[in-house]
Amino acid sequence: MEKRMKEAIRYLGYGRNTADERTRIMIENTFTEMDKVSGPKYICRVFAVKQMEDEIIKIGNMEITSRSLSRNLKGCTKAVLFGATLGPGVDQLIRRTSLTDMSRAVIQQACAAAMLEEYCDEKQQEIGRKLEEEGLYLRPRFSPGYGDFDIHYQEPIMRMLDCAKNIGLTMTDSYMMTPTKSVTAVIGASPVKERCPIAGCEACSKTDCEYRR
């Protein structure tokens, strides 16, 4: 709970400051409420990775042009395509709350983001333990929208994972995911163990973000 609490406080924009007792109680109550309506699911598939010229990476049949992702996957022989969602119940709860209590809805948004991050971390650790049996070690998750990894790559990742069928995750024409508390990512797998696979902010080049750890 304490890790969740810290992440929710960060998403609320407190930075390194401590939230007051009233806010902490509201956050705790919100997590309890959201645990009842969330239905987290994930899907992952492992593909071969080929580093090509001009910062082009080939994952399965998908070609990606991205300097930041190319750097993240340097030395990797495989990549895990990953998708996860908290389910539609969380969206519905936030939508209902926003009609009557916007400040509470903001706290719900922050708590949902923290819950999704925690869930993704847990599943990545599970995936990592399985791949270590094959002598492969995971890199940090890297999602479309990080650095120069274009958000448009969300579509082929979701298609390759068949997210709609497997976890009920779809996408609008403007690349917004439904349910909104969802994420897709590429996770490199290398025969060399280099660093902790859980990164988040540390993998993003936007150093001026007010929500950065």
- The domain that holds 79 is classified in CATH as 3.40.109.40
Question: How far is the C-alpha of 71 from the C-alpha of 61, rounded, in Å?
Answer: 20
Q: Please list the ranges in the chain whose pLDDT falls under 50.
A: 202-203, 206, 208-213
Instruction: Specify if 213 maps to a domain.
Output: no
* Structure-token match 């902010």, residue found: 201
- Dihedral pair phi/psi, residue 171, rounded to 5°: -145, 145
Instruction: Specify if 169 maps to a domain.
Output: yes
pTM flag (> 0.95): no
Instruction: Specify if 210 maps to a domain.
Output: no
Number of domains forming the structure of the chain: 1
Q: Which domain does 58 fall in, by range? A: 2-201
Please report the pLDDT score of residue 116 as a whole number: 97
For residues 54 and 11, is the Cβ–Cβ distance under 8 A?
Answer: no
Instruction: Specify if 54 maps to a domain.
Output: yes
Strand pairing report for 62-65 and 56-59:
antiparallel
Instruction: Specify if 153 maps to a domain.
Output: yes
Question: How far is the C-alpha of 193 from the C-alpha of 118, rounded, in Å?
Answer: 22
Question: How far is the C-alpha of 150 from the C-alpha of 202, rounded, in Å?
Answer: 18
Please report the pLDDT score of residue 171 as a whole number: 94
> pLDDT, tens digit, for every residue of 143-182?
999 989 999 999 999 999 999 999 999 999 888 999 999 9
Please report the pLDDT score of residue 55 as a whole number: 87
Instruction: Specify if 185 maps to a domain.
Output: yes
Question: How far is the C-alpha of 198 from the C-alpha of 203, rounded, in Å?
Answer: 9
Q: 5-41: string of b/e by CB count within 10 Å (b at 16+)?
A: bebbbbbbebeeeebeeeeeebbeebbebbeeebebb
* Structure-token match 């395509």, residue found: 81
Instruction: Specify if 207 maps to a domain.
Output: no
Strand pairing report for 177-178 and 182-190:
unpaired
* Structure-token match 């988040």, residue found: 200
